[in-house]
Amino acid sequence: MEFWSSFWNIIWFFVWAFVFVAYLIAIFSIISDLFRDRELSGWLKAVWLIALIFVPFITSLLYLIFRGQGMAERSHKAAVASTVAAEDYIRSVAQTSPSEEIAKAKALLDSGTIDAEEYDLLKKRALGHPKFSQPTA
């Protein structure tokens, strides 16, 4: 119970906990960057990983010094690719505009597939009429 008796012991504990968590984040960032790097051969990746296991602090410092710039570039490329993929997916599943829906309904009406009553229903639904709006999932 002597640990909790001093305020500075508690502060020192939190400082070391912060340093340890920051170190773990750096290690996991380095490992993920190793697997993301397509230019580095498998043997060199294995050497970096073995060095991270046996001499983690020095190896992580060396990795960040010598490969930090490439690490940032690969991380940026991955973030951009992820953003582009998400935006493409959103565009692919997004609903059409109300004017497009009305135009499609008009084409169906003109072709005789639907009657005027169904056209009015589709038109009201496309314009967001509360009585005819589709339920959200």
Report the distance separating Cα 83 and Cα 74, nearest Å: 14
- 67-76 contact pairs (CB < 8 A, 24+): 67/33, 70/37, 71/29, 71/30, 71/33, 74/33, 74/36, 74/37, 75/33, 75/36
One domain, residues 58 and 118: no
Assess whether pLDDT exceeds 80 at residue 60: yes
Residue 7 lies in a domain: yes
User: Same domain, yes or no, for 89 and 101?
Assistant: no
Query: pLDDT for 32-59, tens place per residue?
Result: 999 988 888 999 999 999 999 999 999 9
pTM exceeds 0.85 for this model: no
Q: Is residue 38 part of a domain?
A: yes
Are 122 and 56 part of one and the same domain?
Answer: no
**For 84-136, what is each residue's pLDDT tens digit?**
999 888 877 776 778 888 888 899 989 988 988 988 988 888 887 766 555 54
**The pLDDT of residue 12 is above 70:** yes
Mean pLDDT of 21-31: 93
14 lies in the same domain as 54? yes
Asked if 70 and 22 sit in the same domain, the reply is yes
Please report whether residue 114 resides in a domain: yes
DSSP string, 46-100: HHHHHHHHHSHHHHHHHHHHHHHHHHHHHHHHHHHHHHHHHHHHHHHHSPPPHHH
Q: Are residues 114 and 60 in the same domain?
A: no
Question: How many domains are contained in the chain?
Answer: 2
- Residue 83 has a pLDDT of 92
Tell which residue, 100, 107, 105, 98, has the closest CA to residue 129.
Answer: 98
135 lies in some domain: no
Residue 105's CB is within 10 A of a number of other CB atoms, namely 20
Domain that holds residue 65: 3-93
Residue 133 lies in a domain: no
Does 100 map to a domain?
yes
- φ and ψ at 92, to 5 degrees? -70, -30
Q: Does residue 132 form part of some domain?
A: no
